[in-house]
Amino acid sequence: MDFLPLFTDLRNKPCLLVGGGQVALRKARLLCKSGAQLRLVAHDILPELSTLCMNSGGECIRGDYGDHLLDEVFLVIAATDDEALNKQVSAACHARQIPVNVVDNPELCSVILPAIIDRSPLVIAVSSGGKSPVLARMMRSRLEASIPASFGRLAQLVGSFRDAVKARFDDIEERRHFWEQTLQGPIAEMVFAGKDKVAAEMLSKAIDKAEVSAGGEVYLIGAGPGDPDLMTFKALRLLQRADVVLYDRLVAPAIVDMCRKDAERVYVGKARADHAVPQQDINKLLVKYAKEGKKVARLKGGDPFIFGRGGEEIEELAEEKIPFQVVPGITAASGCASYSGIPLTHRDYAQSVRFVTGHLKDHSLNLPWAELVHPTQTVVFYMGLVGLPSICAQLIAHGRGGDTPIAVIQQGTTPQQKVVVATLATMIERLAKEPVQAPTLIIVGEVVKLREKLAWYEHYDLANGAV
């Protein structure tokens, strides 16, 4: 994070704007909208800009900029096409520790003006840290389309009842739970329907008779194979509702960072022969936090019910009569295969697919090998890197040809993805030359042949439009 997002109260505060053209006009509109008192200096000043300045209770100075103009100024914006002048303004502001923004020159800035979604009093700011203002504006457009104007009215309603709720609930956690129930229930829906008066009456009654449930709940959330964009809307919504987040080593840090900033984060990662927190202890932690009345998110890589031991966790929750929700995630087989250009099924190569764990409870590889060697079946091995020599040998021994294609995918769907393709007979030798690191996924079957044809985009030259 290059810049810490902050919201600043500019009401009746003097702010200096250096420049009198169209760019300065855009910045002046923003400053005036926030209630700033505008001080403007430039040789040539647009009439509308002059009017804005005077209406804000400020002053227009037609002439040269001087450092004396920084006296008692709260914020400075340099909006000129004079590079030397912009540098002078920036240096003077940095020397006096006055926040300064130099338009389209982030190196000279101590503050960045973001793209803004204004649903006052709800205000959302989007910034690229000055790297790509166009991208920030594109993101603003997307957000504006999904955030109705009624959210501003909802924020107004909540603000008008904050003191009443604070008086009703002494405990901050009770207040938070009350507002969560309110903002996700029929009161909010009344506001969205334009029935603000009805919503206010409902909220007043809810405060009088409110009995906030202190009961905890657990969300088993499939985080997908690694790429944060593969999270579902429901997964993100419940993750951001959680008071406590338990996550394992297969969950990407970018996904963990999507939880509430005040949520407690508990690492319960497990690796082969290195269980940082044993499964039974994880189960007990889920029960413990839920009985404390907390919303608990159990973030699991991939899908909770595909080799994720989610079934074991909800068994204990059910026994303790703790409410829970299970959110499916994109399993590693689907995500890694797609990002590698390998279809798991294909009419010409494979009519079925089988998911197998290469790491059983007793650390053995006692698998039904005779069922895994059908030539028109794709077999996907989870957690099979350590046992790969045995996997290759057993498949060959039970009738699968040594020339059967096999792919080993390292950290699929992430920027660290690496795909090694060989045959059952040659893969171990190939990995000796091109080693991979866990987590990995192994795909065995004729469909692997299609990678060379379907993953052409990995070598696509965007600049020249050629492979």
Distance CA(257)–CA(326), nearest Å, equals: 20
Annotated binding site for S-adenosyl-L-methionine: 225, 301-303, 306, 331-332, 383, 412
How far apart (Å, rounded) are the C-alpha atoms in residues 375 and 162? 66
Which helix (H) or strand (E) covers residue 269, if one does? none
Taking Cα atoms as reference points, which of 435, 439, 444 lies closest to residue 393?
Answer: 444
Catalytic status, residue 234? no
Q: Annotated catalytic residue: which of 13, 87, 270, 284?
A: 270
Phi, psi of 74 (to 5 degrees): -90, -35
From the candidates 27, 227, 248, 294, give the one annotated as an active-site residue. 248
Which residues face 295 on adjacent strands?
A: 217
> SS3 sequence, 75-141?
EEEECCCCHHHHHHHHHHHHHHCCCEEECCCHHHCCCCCCEEEEECCEEEEECCCCCCHHHHHHHHH
| Gap between the Cα atoms of 107 and 128, Å rounded | 13
Binding-site entries for NAD(+): 22-23, 43-44
Q: Tell me which residue of 227, 233, 223, 263 sits closest to 245, measured CA to CA.
A: 263
- Which candidate, 278, 291, 299, places its Cα nearest to that of 320? 291
Annotated binding site: 22-23, 43-44, 225, 301-303, 306, 331-332, 383, 412
Maximum pairwise Cα distance, the chain: 89
Contacts by 1-6, CB closer than 8 A, 24 or more apart:
2/129, 2/130, 3/111, 3/112, 3/127, 3/129, 3/130, 5/114, 5/125, 5/127
Q: Is 270 a catalytic residue?
A: yes
Q: Are 245 and 256 in contact (CB under 8 A)?
A: yes
Contact 301, 413 (CB under 8 A): no
Q: What is the pairing mode between strands 324-327 and 244-247?
A: unpaired
Which positions ≥6 away from 324 have C-beta within 8 Å?
217, 218, 219, 220, 314, 317, 318
Q: Catalytic residues, which ones?
A: 248, 270
